[in-house]
Amino acid sequence: MKVVGLMSGTSADGVDAALVSIARQKAGIQVKMLAFHSLPYPRSLQQRILSASVSGTVADICHLNALLGEWFADAALGVIRSADLTSEEVDLIGSHGQTVHHLPAGIKDTNVGSIRSTLQIAEPAVITERTGITTVANFRPRDIAAGGQGAPLTPGVHALLFRHPRRSRLIVNLGGISNVTYLPRGSGTEGLVAFDTGPANMVLDGIMSRKTNGRSLMDREGRLALRGQVDSRLLAKLLAHPYLSQPPPKSTGREAFGSTMLDELLSWQQTRSMPTEDLLATCSRWTAEAVGTARRWIKGRVDEVIVGGGGVRNRAIMGQLTALYAPIPVTTFESHGWDSKALESVAFAVLAYQTVMEQSGNVPSVTGAAFSRLLGCIVPSGPRWLERLRPSRRKK
């Protein structure tokens, strides 16, 4: 089966599209990358998404849901073209959508108690209509309905792609938010531990955007951070953030580490006349140290740390992670045959495949859900969509 995975993360900088082939085997499934395509958002659209995440009206979110459906469809068509294929040759799309709010801790409601929720937009009906391909989307709400956090959902895919028979591995994803997956040696998901550790690129990108009035959207390769000095007092304050000491299962996002956090950081900088390079160096170190705290909830040795996500290109964070975990080797997704930027979109291609093949996609020990569940909502391409995906059903 050829499947497109679509992903836009907490940084809201664009849509990543991965086209993979998935084949069933006795031991599970085999996943092979065929093409990757990234469709950046214009700066104005990124700002609209970020604003909607904090103070958007119903009209804002309604409009963005349809608009982002068009962007996600364009990204899917782009990756299909880059593989020299047509839509008719692709079986399925899995779309994570764009998270605009994530409340895994819940909000108390006087009638029914605490209600946990999450919201991803990018209308899957638009994606199906524009591409002609059956689309699976809205993966996170089913896990939340089953008592989970709705995140992270990629650890099961990490186990599929990175588990080793003799080496225990810590998989680190440095996206807008950083998360870890611990894979003890062996196969399957037994003993797997995974959770969000805190902010990564989201805070660093926010600092750059604010300090340059939008002229620079990132500290490219961590160059400015490498020129700065870590402020020990600010670092201690950041490491005391209550999220870091919260035991898993746990997940987080812009609600905890977004604009309010940026306001506090920039206020601290102004009060202490701190160079921006020092602020970036301190927050880069915070990202690495937060990943380092993962060890307190991991029982067992770590033989190797494997890092991916956009932050893998930040030499400041990577240098600090290497120092923190020494002498344990720190490698990247690329050294294991996977594109760091593509892997999360690959994961949602796999999750879509699992859904249509009636396989659960969440890992309850990770998200806190009561049970394994099929994830997502399916928008069929037409009346015979299931026969196209599963020809064996014609025989029954």
Residues 206 and 324 in one domain: yes
- pLDDT tens track for 151-162: 999 999 999 999
* pLDDT higher than 50, residue 395: no
Closest CA to 288 of 210, 215, 198: 198
Mean pLDDT of the chain: 94
**384 and 295, same structural domain?**
no
Domain boundary among the residues 321, 336, 351 is at 336
pLDDT tens, residue by residue, 281-330? 999 999 999 999 989 999 899 999 999 999 999 999 999 999 999 999 99
Q: How many domains does the chain have?
A: 2
Q: What is the mean pLDDT of residues 66-73?
A: 98
Is 84 in the same domain as 127? yes
Same structural domain, 80 and 129? yes
Statement to judge: residues 31 and 120 lie in one domain: yes
Q: What backbone torsions phi and psi does residue 152 show, to the nearest 5 degrees?
A: -80, 150
The answer to whether the beta carbons of residues 218 and 160 sit under 8 Å apart is no
Task: Examine the domain organization and report whether 30 and 177 are in the same domain.
Answer: no
The three-class DSSP label of residue 252 is: coil
Q: CA-CA distance, 321 to 305, in Å (whole number)?
A: 9
The residue with greater pLDDT, 389 or 249, is 249
Cα–Cα distance between 128 and 134 in angstroms, integer? Answer: 6
Given this model, what pLDDT does residue 241 score? 96
**Which pLDDT does position 393 carry in this prediction?**
45
Domain that holds residue 377: 2-150+342-395
What's the confidence (pLDDT) of residue 338? 94
Question: CA 132, CA 276: separation in Å to the nearest integer?
Answer: 48
Given a cut of 70, whether residue 227 has pLDDT beyond it is yes
Same domain, 325 and 352: no
Q: Residue 76: which pLDDT band, with cuts at 50, 70 and 90?
A: very high
Shared domain for 256 and 172, answered yes or no, is yes
d(CA 159, CA 192): 8
Tokens of 70: 């068009």
For residues 35 and 89, membership in a common domain is answered with: yes
Pair (311, 162) in one structural domain:
yes
55 and 136 housed in the same domain: yes
How far is C-alpha 69 from the chain's CA centre?
18
Single residue among 303, 321, 336 that ends a domain in this structure = 336
Mean pLDDT of 99-123: 91
Residues 141, 103: contact at Cβ < 8 Å?
no
250: pLDDT strictly greater than 90: yes
Rounded Cα distance, 281 and 288, in Å: 11
Average of per-residue pLDDT across 110-117: 86
pLDDT tens digit sequence for 99-110: 999 999 889 887
Statement to judge: residues 134 and 119 lie in one domain: yes
Strand locations in 221-335 (E): 304-308, 330-332
pLDDT-based confidence at 391, cuts 50/70/90?
low
Q: Which of 291, 308, 336 is the last residue of a domain?
A: 336
**pLDDT given for residue 189 in this prediction:** 81
What is the DSSP track for 16-28? EEEEEEEEEETTE
Give the integer Cα–Cα distance in Å for 368 and 170.
20
CATH code of the domain in which 192 resides: 3.30.420.40
pLDDT band at 388 (very low <50, low <70, confident <90, very high): confident
